[in-house]
A and B are shown apart, each in its own frame.
Chain A
């Protein structure tokens, strides 16, 4: 389809808006100054310092691990919820799925902490963070998948049934490929929500377990040094690589759309 001049102009404006701060982040990771304030000179020492900063690296590794695991589980559960919301519309499900999205994060955080400690008497750690992240991501995935299904041509499902396909077959050969872009979008959204989550993680992280947002927040008083810019730049590079690799190896059926 045609992509006219004005469309390109508008779209590129949006991209520019998205990337200008990013350019600042990457640029300032080479800034020869303790403060993340004004440009002083070029240096790569922050990357060197980063390699020696076990705490920050551990936190980043934790964040990545938690993001991947929690988004995977949330995507699976969220897709199921999205399908269910669309097909069968069980009474209670919209409320259950949508309210975590509607509720302020801080409330979710405190209530989960109360629940873990005073009801389950659970020792906080990676598990509590995972459970919390999955909880708030399911709703996002469900909403996207449901939006994807809404307005789907019902004829396709009927045709499949008429041709004798079982419901499982219909799902794998018809439904799933159709909603695949929604699933992928949901996964990406969960991933970004998780890797960046501060408020909820703040409450449910265990003693000594840190994620990147928590670690950065703890440096906030000390004025966020360019080391943080360095790790952000590296994280972006890593995510870029991961996604590029993933799209290479993902089978073509997943990428096919209607």
Chain B
């Protein structure tokens, strides 16, 4: 647990505000207020020509939420999207872990190069990389199928798993592993009992940075997916860009955000309950 409570110097309080205030202020202005505007929008009626109906005219309504909870189809889409996000996260973890371990075990010079090589593909453009996948998957007859969507999602989010994992693994004390080895533990036991638990914060951070964006993504299913691959991100996008139904789009987004925060809250509580490794 942090030892800040034992601080006695007056600089402590000032430091705390100096460090916390700038990001907090920025986010309040550029995130919280706009988000509240949109949250409020979900309680309004759609405008006659699209957008939002004037508040004075139509007042507030729960129509959008009623619409969502009325039909099980929306729950189904949420469930499906979570499944896709979960699978993507898992695959990212499997692909990222060995790479992160390799980077950490490498000498300093090589380490920087390896990290750079992870980032580099993403200096090109998202769309062009998806197009490249279309070129690759087309002849393999894998295009316009669920597997293409998964490949695309994993590909796009891989560095978001590699980086947090790497920064966490990097600070593991090698002495711990040596001690385990001296005590006769096998390679697998060393990994499972020492490395893995220590890496959990990194794993969970990476998982959060993959799982959540996957849920909101619409470009990958739209370009690589077939006819049955609608995810919640597509649904939300449709409300704003095809259907002019902002209240419904805002409501769906709000429900999504709440569910995600709940999941994050649960996983964070789980981490804390494990105690510090």
Do A and B belong to a common assembly? yes
A contacts, CB < 8 Å to B: 1-3, 7-8, 10-11, 13-15, 17-22, 24-25, 28, 36-38, 77-78, 80-81, 83-84, 86-90, 92-93, 95-108, 110-112, 114-115, 119, 131-132, 134-135, 138, 140, 142-144, 146-148, 150-152, 154, 157-158, 166-168, 178, 181-182, 185, 188-189, 191-192, 195-196, 198, 212-213, 216-217, 220, 224, 228-229, 231-233, 235-236, 238-240, 243-244, 247, 255, 257-258
Contact with A along B83-101 (1 / 0, CB 8 A): 0000000000001101101
CA distance A150 to B201 in the complex (A): 7
Instruction: Name 24 A/B residue pairs within 8 A (Cβ), A-sorted.
Output: A7-B102, A11-B103, A17-B155, A25-B128, A86-B2, A87-B4, A99-B31, A103-B253, A104-B215, A104-B253, A105-B216, A112-B34, A114-B37, A115-B33, A143-B205, A144-B167, A151-B201, A166-B9, A166-B11, A189-B160, A192-B123, A213-B125, A228-B125, A258-B173
Given contacts A21-B136, A198-B127, 18 further A-B contacts (CB under 8 A): A7-B101, A21-B133, A22-B120, A77-B22, A81-B20, A92-B24, A96-B32, A99-B35, A103-B216, A104-B256, A105-B216, A106-B233, A115-B33, A154-B1, A167-B11, A188-B119, A243-B119, A255-B112
> Which of chain B's residues 153-179 have a Cβ closer than 8 Å to chain A?
155, 158-160, 163-164, 166-168, 170-171, 173-174
Contact with A along B220-263 (1 / 0, CB 8 A): 00000000000011001100110000100110010011001100
CA distance A229 to B105 in the complex (A): 34
Q: Which residue of B lies closest to A144 (CB)?
A: B164
Q: Which 10 A-B pairs have the closest CB atoms?
A: A104-B216, A10-B98, A111-B34, A239-B123, A21-B132, A232-B124, A115-B34, A11-B102, A81-B23, A111-B38
Q: Which residue of B lies closest to A81 (CB)?
A: B23
B99 and A15 contacting across the interface, CB-CB below 8 Å: yes
A226 CB to closest chain B CB (Å) equals 10
Q: Chain A residues with Cβ under 8 A from B22's Cβ?
A: 77, 80
B15 and A167 contacting across the interface, CB-CB below 8 Å: yes
Our pick among B30, B103, B127, B215 for the contact of A135 (Cβ within 8 Å) is B30
CA distance A85 to B209 in the complex (A): 17
CA distance A2 to B108 in the complex (A): 14
Q: Chain A residues with Cβ under 8 A from B209's Cβ?
A: 101, 140, 143
B75 within 8 Å of A by Cβ? no
CA distance A37 to B215 in the complex (A): 29
CA distance A217 to B117 in the complex (A): 26
CA distance A30 to B218 in the complex (A): 30
Q: How many A-B residue pairs have CB under 8 A?
A: 301
CA distance A181 to B172 in the complex (A): 13
B119 and A192 contacting across the interface, CB-CB below 8 Å: yes
CA distance A241 to B12 in the complex (A): 41
Our pick among B31, B108, B204, B264 for the contact of A100 (Cβ within 8 Å) is B31
Q: Which residue of A lies closest to B103 (CB)?
A: A11
Our pick among A112, A140, A220, A235 for the contact of B127 (Cβ within 8 Å) is A220
Majority SS of interface residues in chain B? helix
B120 and A232 contacting across the interface, CB-CB below 8 Å: no
CA distance A191 to B115 in the complex (A): 14
Majority SS of interface residues in chain A? helix
A93-B99 CB under 8 A given contacts A21-B132, A195-B123: no
> Which of chain B's residues 36-75 have a Cβ closer than 8 Å to chain A?
37-38
CA distance A103 to B117 in the complex (A): 29
A22-B129 CB under 8 A given contacts A77-B22, A96-B27: yes
CA distance A208 to B167 in the complex (A): 40
CA distance A106 to B272 in the complex (A): 32
B33 CB to closest chain A CB (Å) equals 6
A99 and B117 contacting across the interface, CB-CB below 8 Å: no
B30 and A216 contacting across the interface, CB-CB below 8 Å: no
CA distance A195 to B16 in the complex (A): 32
A239 CB to closest chain B CB (Å) equals 4
A114 CB to closest chain B CB (Å) equals 6
Q: Which residue of B lies closest to A220 (CB)?
A: B127
Our pick among A37, A93, A106, A212 for the contact of B135 (Cβ within 8 Å) is A37
A198 and B15 contacting across the interface, CB-CB below 8 Å: no
A11 CB to closest chain B CB (Å) equals 4
A236-B124 CB under 8 A given contacts A3-B105, A97-B23, A101-B208: yes
CA distance A111 to B36 in the complex (A): 9
